[in-house]
Structure formats: structure tokens, C-alpha cells
A and B are shown apart, each in its own frame.
Chain A
Amino acid sequence: MGFGNESHGLLSRMAVNDQHGENSAYFDGWKAYDRDPFHPTHNPHGVLQMGLAENQLCFDLIQEWMRNHPEASICTPEGLHHFSDVAIFQDYHGLPKFTKGVANFMSKVRGGKVKFDESRVVMSGGATGANEVIMFCLADPGDAFLIPTPYYPAYARDLCWRTGVQIVPVHCDSSNNFQITRDALERAYKKAEEDNINVKGLLLTNPSNPLGTTLDRETMKSLVTFINEKNIHLVCDEIYAATVFSTPSFVSVSEIIQDMEFCNKDLIHIVYSLSKDMGFPGFRVGIIYSYNDIVVSCARKMSSFGLVSSQTQHMLADMLLDDDFVDKFLAESSQRLAKRHSLFTMGLEKMGITCLPSNAGLFCWMNLRSLLKEQTVEGEMKLWRVIVNEVKLNISPGSSFSCSESGWFRVCFANMDDETVKVALRRIEVFVGKEGEKAKNVIKRRQRTTGLRVNSSSSKRFDESWLMSPHSTHIMSPHSPIPHSPLVKVT
């Protein structure tokens, strides 16, 4: 049932522009994976999915809780008597037990150092929805938010697409381990002013995606001071808060402002979700927590466009209020992530590959600069295509995170088992070995033919058209790498 698209001109500007971001190279790797997905026995030479920041390490703990609490489901004999009350409940304040549970969980994730007020907990359609709603509340079309690079690629869609807000990057680089400096902030802010761009706020992801690092106390204080001085908002996306697995421990903005006397709390907003910390991206549990009453009220009204299913609220409420479970879960999750991180990074170190030292996240920020033939975006993309097509690892190139320094790659490690991690390491080892040989040969050749110069502009460009055709019928969700989820096959 295909229909002609003569009415193309009849759609809004928003519908026809590229701001959904799906034409970015970030998503090209999905196609390679989709065509040839790795399976330990059925397809051991397939592409490994290391571009998906999912947390699959602790499902067993959650399933155990659910088995022991059948009343949490409204479909079981034990829980069925709740069905009609839950099914009819669409109040945007949320199920009282649910918001209480979220406030409780958020507090525990921060080591109990902060208490959260359940009446400030606002639901949204995942963190995707939360980030968009907060922009709608704080900024007008044309306004801008400062965001330190490298940052999550989908921010371009989430913060900008329907809101008309723009991103002003604050560049960070490896000279100081990608830390955000006051200097970089001031420069970005000043440049925006000169360009007549109205900066409404600063958005931080802490712990950082893709760096996997947390902001230390002093930096946090300095950032809070900065936004107070400029009288702009601060949005902290703390979606990876519970993925911190080693020191330094996580310092949330909520902790910082408790101690700061002169902070205008109306400027502080937190975005959260259970997608990463608990591994439930399918349940769409996004949270906005604002210290600004008007923002809470406005975001709550907007949450009508993206409420959490009452079935899900009901199921998670008791889980999040179960202190014993939460304590055990957070400790265990942290340990397993630490172990996984160590397995991967130590394996890389043995082959001479370093990652940015990190203490959080479901990924590491891998340094492949020494393997680049040119220290440019093109050089990075060339290397990336080799890694995807020959080494058969779908990893994410730093340029897709707007990183200003070429050669960095985000590699996810929590969405697979230990054996698969080892397969990945073996492949990288082989690749690094080959690259090492190639490099040696190039040096030898150069030594033999000293007069030759390599003209980079004449080097062959890869044909990009196969990677993401705009007319492809397989335009896939940026979050899900495959158009046909394994779940689809099962059901």
C-alpha cells in the first residue's frame, strides 16, 4: 500500500529538515551490524555491537525481585485486583508510590547524601523526552545552551529539533583529560554574545557520555558559580549516576547546591532516567527534577505528552522503595561494571591501547590517535570504516560526539557477556598487530624513497552512499540498531 508523496511540500519545515539527526555517521555502523550481527555459535565472525550504551549486567537481580513480588504485576493472580485502578490512572502527578520510589532511589544513588522531594519528581518519555521538555521550559526558539564536547550525539535532536534551540559547544580536549575549564566556558559564552546568540543555560552530562568520567567537587562548584554569575540555567543530565564503579565517587549537583550559600536554586534542574542505571530503556522512565517551582509546574503539564505507563509505574514503585533490594542492586551493579571495565581496559593496555581513565559509564573512551594516518575527521572516519568493515566492531567515532580532537572512539562494554568481550579484544589485538606491521613498512618505504611526498587530497575517498541512503527502507531508530528486534522474532 504505497502512496505517492506529491504532498511532500505540504509538511512542516520541521518534518523535512535533517534535525532528527539520523543521517549522521553515528548511525551508519548499525547497518553493518544489522547485515551481519555477531552470534557466538551461529555467526562468530559477525559484527560486534559496541556502539550501544546498554546495561545488561544486572537483569538477574531484577528478575529475582519480580519473581518474589508477583503482586507488582497487574496481570498475575496476586496483582490482578489492582488492574482497574492502575489502568484508569493517568494523573500527571504520577502514582504517589512511584514518585516516592523515584525520589528514594535517586537519593540512594547519591549515597544518601541528598534527599529528594517527591513532589518535584516529574515524569517524561525517557530522558529523551526529559531533555526536550526542559528545553521547552527554559528556552525560546533561537536561544542556545552551552554543552561541553564531546557530547551524546542525539542531543542535537533531543534539545534542538522541535524546540528550535541551538547548541553552542564548549570544547574540551585531551591536554587536561577533557576537563571543562572556566576559560573554555568563558570563551564559548563570549563568542555566543558576539554572535548575538542568547545563551539560556549550560547542560552537563555527569557522569559523562562518552568520557565515562565524573566531575569533581571543585569543578562542579566552579560551574555552579559560573551559571549564577551569568544568571543562566544549569541542566545536569545524571542518567549514568549509578554506573559509577570506582573512585572518585559521584558528586551530584544536588549535593553541591546544599553547601553553596549563594546559589539561586531556581536555576538548577536535573534530568534522570532508569534506562542506564537499571537497564530498562524499554520502559521509558524519564524524570525531570527541578528546584524551580514554575519549571516543575510547566514540565508537569508537558508530561501529558510523555507519561510513564501506569502499569510500569506500579511495577517499579515497590521495587524502588525496597531499600534492601536497592542497596544490594547498586552495590552489585557497581562491582560488575568495575570488573567489566577492568577486563576490557586491561586487555587493551596489553596491546598498547590506552583509554581515558574513567570511573563510570557503560563504555570507555579509547585513544586510537596513533593509528590515524591523518589527524583529521577524514582520517578518523577512514580508520572507523576499517574497524567496522574489517575488524568488525561497531564502535562510535569521536567526531559523531562533536569531539574537536580526532582519533578517539567510544566503545561500549556492558551490553554483552565476558566471552564476547574477549572476542572483541582478540580482534583488536590482531588489527593492532597488522597496523603495527603496516606502520613499520611505511617507515621503511619512506626511508628508501626520501624524495616522495604523499598528497592527501588525492587519496581515494570512501563511497559513503551505501552506508545510509536517505531512501533506505531500513531507517532505524538511533537507539535500536536493528529494525527487527530479537523480541519481535520471539513474539
Chain B
Amino acid sequence: MGLEIEQPCVELSNIAVSDTHGENSPYFAGWKAYDENRYDEFTNPSGVIQMGLAENQVSFDLVEKYLEQHAEASTWGKGATGFRENALFQDYHGLKSFRTAMASFMQQIRGGRAKFDPDRVVLTAGATAANELLTFILANPGDALLVPTPYYPGFDRDLRWRTGVKIIPIHCNSSNNFQISPQALEAAYQQAQSMNTKVRGVLITNPSNPLGATIQRSVLEEILDFVTRKNIHLVSDEIYSGSAFSGDEFVSVAEILEDRDYKNAERVHIVYSLSKDLGLPGFRVGTIYSYNDKVVTTARRMSSFTLISSQTQHLLATMLSDKEFTEGYIKTNRERLRKRYEMIIDGLRRAGIECLKGNAGLFCWMNLSPLLEKPTREGELELWNSILYEVRLNISPGSSCHCSEPGWFRVCFANMSEQTLEVALDRIRNFMDQRATAKPKIPFRKIITDQAVIDMYSCLLA
């Protein structure tokens, strides 16, 4: 190579050099410990068990069985032109059969209590894209969305990074089981006012991640009234709606709107995805369902940046149009998740650990605040560190979910076999027994902050 000429650094964009992608959070540092020492029932029984990943692996067999029995899912549609037409299909309206199937699936999950119009279904590559896209449409840079805490860490990136929009937390705590109170809503709104920041909407996750609980009907009504009074939007991320353990306990904002004859509905938008309920995060299937015509049109245009692969649309259109399959799947999936939940709650209780009463999702919200050396974020991170290295479980600290109360942890239970879950529960029991008998000072180990390492392992956000 020739002369080394010193080049002035050409700037990248502000977005490129900012931290707002959120991947420097300790939330991701646990991956390294897991990756370096992965648990395996046979080859590495003392490895780290991954309990920080909200994946649904309990119902794959149902999908695989469907595919075995339905050869048409593996073909490209009628005749020789099927492949060609599918390969060429890049219309941002999406396959009509797929939109219809999605609308019908969403309806079934809500027990038919809400109807969905296929022409209002906008398709995106994952809920990650759906949430960002909606933010681009509903808010200008510098504006804010109000989001109840604790919330999914990925929102920091999805709602803020490229959009320039802010998140103002609606603080929730254990005094009322982390429910969203009218006071908390108002307080968040006032906080925005004091910062001279325009609030554009409220974004809720229902059922909640990380709480693993559905939002009560009365609270939803209050939130709807609040956004109407303030003349702002409501985004309801219902990605876990099919993972409510009992279909009756989940109330969607869609049902309330239907009861209200769709009055003021044009400010409401629902986000959904097949990543959690069907366990297909790799397929990148997200949707925006909006009651606002302009939002539907604009979202559709914007979806050009994030369309769903036409072959995936075709496969899922076939599968989700099969009402026998979907009804059976929804029912069985709910039962299996409930069973897992009961197993982990029971196991934790026997170890002396309480969780928030949950009724949905792929995780539980565990209360370890009695174990904290100090009731602070640092105290929580110390405890988390020792759970990671001593107990060898990767779980998610509440602070990474912006929980204002230290000591809570999200623990996933649906991304492993029952046997592995038993092993995890045994380890927790031993850990708690040791703590009860003696109180050794757990050496503080440096939390990983090496950017290159975090970068390598922070690819999974779930």
C-alpha cells in the first residue's frame, strides 16, 4: 500500500453516532455470558440458561403438523405462473388473501368481540418497523409519546432513534400492581408541558411486556378518554394478544371502540405481529391496524421500506385462512403457556419468590426487591450480575425496562423445554436456600461495557 495519508474523518450522520439505538444498555450484556457458556442438557448442564428472550417455542409442533398435512402451503399457488407472480408481487397493499387472513386471525384472538377490516391492515416487516413507522406518521422530531413504565427496552430504539421523537414515561409501581392510573397519565403529560414538548400520543402494550398482564377494561376506557380529552393518539401494541392464558381476560381497545360505535376511533392504531403468538419472529410479519384513513394510506406508502416477503405472505395466508387450524392453535397455545406460567410461579413461590399476578405473555415479572443490598438501580444491577454469574441465569433487570422501582426482573419461560425450566427453578431454589442460611458478600463483577462485545451480541431484542 502507498503513502498513509491522514484523512480528516468524514462525518456520519448524528443518528449514526448517537446512542439512541439503546444497545449499550446492560440488558444486552447478559448475552455474552450466555453465549460464552450456553446451557445444554447433555453437553453443558452447568451453562447459562437463557431467560431473557421472549420467544414462544411451545407450539411449533402445531405449525409443523399443519405444514406436513397441507402440501399446498409449500407450493406457490395455482399453476405454473404461481411462482412468477409471487416473486414479482411487491404491491404495498399486500396479498389480499393474507390481509384477510390476518384480519380474521386478529378477530379470532379477540373471541370475535371485535371485527377487523382487511383494508385497514397495513403490513410491515415486524412490529419493530410498525412501531417506528407509526411514530414517523404521528409525531414530528422533538415531539413526545407517553409510554407507561416498565416498558420493552426496544422502544427506546423503535420510537426514538431515527424519528427524533422523545419518550416520556408514565410511571407505574407495585402499589397498585403497576396499573396505569389517571394521575400518572396526567403527571406525564404535565412533565411534557414543563419541558415545552408537544405530546402526540400514548403508546401502551397490552398485554404488557414486561409485566405479563393484561390491562383492565376500566383502565383502557380511562386511557381512551384521556387521549380524547387531550386530542392525541393512542397506539395499542397488542403483539401478545394471542398469548393471554385465557381468551376472556384480554380486552382489546378494538372491542371498546366497537362498543362506542367507533366514536373518536380515528385517533386509535393497533400494532400486531406473528412473532410472539405464532413463534415466527424470523418471518418478519408485523401489521398496523388504523381506524384513521390518512394514517392507513400514509403507512401503506411508508411500508415500501419494510414490506413482508411475498413468499412468507403466501405461506401464512394459506395457514391463517384455515379456521380449523387457527382455532385449534389459539386454544392450545394459550393452554400450554398457562401451564408453563403456573409451573414457574409455583416453582418460584416454593423458593420464596413472589411475582406480579400475570395472565399473559411469555414471561413473568419477578419481585426480588427483598434481596437487594441497596434499594437502588445499582443494587439491582449487582443482584442481576450475581444471578448471571453465580446462578447462571440470564434474566432482564427491571431498570433496563425503565422501571422506577428497583428489584423487579423479567423472566422468560416459553423459549425452553420443561426440563430446562425445571433446572432453572432448581438453581433458583438453591440460590435462595444459600441466601437464607448464610449471607455471603457476593463479589461485584464488572458489568460488560466493551462496545465491540455488546455490538456483537446485541442483535437479539425480544
Contact = CB atoms under 8 A, between A and B. Distances in A.
A391 B39 CA distance: 69
Nearest to B131: A305
A136 B87 contact: no
Contacts of A483: 91, 93
B279 to A, nearest CB: 7
B89 to A, nearest CB: 4
A59 interface: yes
Nearest to B458: A301
Contacts of A92: 459
Contacts of A143: 13
Given A15-B295, A284-B309, A480 B92 contact: yes
B292 A128 contact: no
B137 A267 contact: no
Nearest to A94: B459
A52 to B, nearest CB: 9
Contacts of B86: 282, 487
A101 B12 CA distance: 29
Interface size range on A against B:
35 or more
Contacts of B302: 20, 161-162
A280 B89 CA distance: 8
A80 to B, nearest CB: 6
B231 interface: yes
A86 B157 CA distance: 25
Given A486-B85, A491-B95, A475 B57 contact: no
A480 B90 contact: yes
Contact of B16 (A3, A295, A309): A295
A283 B309 contact: yes
A452 interface: no
Nearest to A20: B301
B16 A136 contact: yes
B91 A477 contact: yes
Contacts of B8: 231
Given A13-B140, A490-B85, A137 B281 contact: no
A233 B9 CA distance: 11
A487 B140 contact: no
A67 B10 CA distance: 49
B7 A128 contact: no
A192 interface: no
Which of B12, B117, B315: most chain A CB closer than 10 A? B12
A119 to B, nearest CB: 11
Interface stretch (A4-12, A240-248, A334-342): A4-12
Contacts of B91: 476-477, 479-480, 482-483, 485
Contacts of B138: 10-12, 15
A254 B210 CA distance: 46
Interface in B119-150: 120, 125-126, 128-129, 132, 136-141, 143
A311 B92 contact: no
B374 interface: no
Given A15-B136, A479-B90, A307 B16 contact: no
Contacts of B326: none
B262 interface: yes
B25 interface: no
A297 B14 CA distance: 14
A222 to B, nearest CB: 19
Which of A13, A56, A66, A88: most chain B CB closer than 10 A? A88
Nearest to A141: B141
A111 to B, nearest CB: 24
A294 B21 CA distance: 14
B10 A129 contact: no
B367 interface: no
Contacts of B137: 11-12, 14-15
Contacts of A487: 77, 85-86, 89, 95, 310
Interface size range on B against A:
35 or more
Interface in B285-319: 291-295, 297-298, 300-302, 304-312, 314-315, 317
Contacts of B460: 90-91
B67 interface: yes
B454 to A, nearest CB: 11
Contacts of B232: 10
B129 to A, nearest CB: 5
B125 A261 contact: no
Contacts of A443: none
Contact of B117 (A1, A4, A7, A308): A1
A438 interface: no
Contact of A83 (B1, B60, B88, B92): B60
A1 B306 contact: no
Contacts of A68: none
Nearest to A491: B97
A386 interface: no
A138 to B, nearest CB: 6
Interface in A88-115: 88-93
B283 A311 contact: yes
Which of B86, B139, B284, B308: most chain A CB closer than 10 A? B284
Interface stretch (A36-44, A69-77, A363-371, A398-406): A69-77
A54 B242 CA distance: 39
A302 interface: yes
Contacts of A478: 304
Given A84-B60, A282-B89, A485-B85, A307 B310 contact: no
Contacts of A132: 305
Nearest to A92: B459
Contacts of A297: 455
Interface string A145-184: 0000000000001100110000000000000000000000
A242 B48 CA distance: 47
Interface string A129-144: 1001000111111010
B260 interface: no
B229 interface: no
B57 to A, nearest CB: 7
A359 interface: no
Contact of A128 (B129, B304, B317): B304
B81 to A, nearest CB: 8
B314 A491 contact: yes
A92 B455 CA distance: 11
Contact of A88 (B13, B96, B279): B279
B348 interface: no
A14 B136 contact: yes
Which of A56, A140, A275, A483: most chain B CB closer than 10 A? A140
B150 to A, nearest CB: 21
Nearest to A281: B90
A315 interface: yes
B74 interface: yes
B281 A282 contact: no
A262 B6 CA distance: 11
B57 A283 contact: no
Contacts of A231: 7-8, 10
Contact of B315 (A75, A232, A292, A480): A75
B135 to A, nearest CB: 9
Given A12-B138, A20-B298, A309-B284, A2 B293 contact: yes
B309 A488 contact: no
A307 B128 CA distance: 10
Contacts of B441: none
Nearest to A488: B96
Closest 6 CB pairs of A and B: A310-B282, A282-B310, A75-B74, A480-B91, A309-B309, A261-B2
6 contacts: A4-B266, A83-B64, A262-B5, A266-B10, A281-B89, A482-B91
Interface of B: 1-3, 5, 7-8, 10-17, 21, 23, 55, 57, 60, 63-64, 67-68, 73-74, 77-93, 95-97, 117, 120, 125-126, 128-129, 132, 136-141, 143, 157, 162, 200, 231-233, 262, 265-267, 275, 279-284, 291-295, 297-298, 300-302, 304-312, 314-315, 317, 455, 459-462
Given A87-B281, A482-B91, 7 more contacts: A88-B55, A129-B305, A281-B88, A308-B284, A310-B284, A485-B89, A491-B78
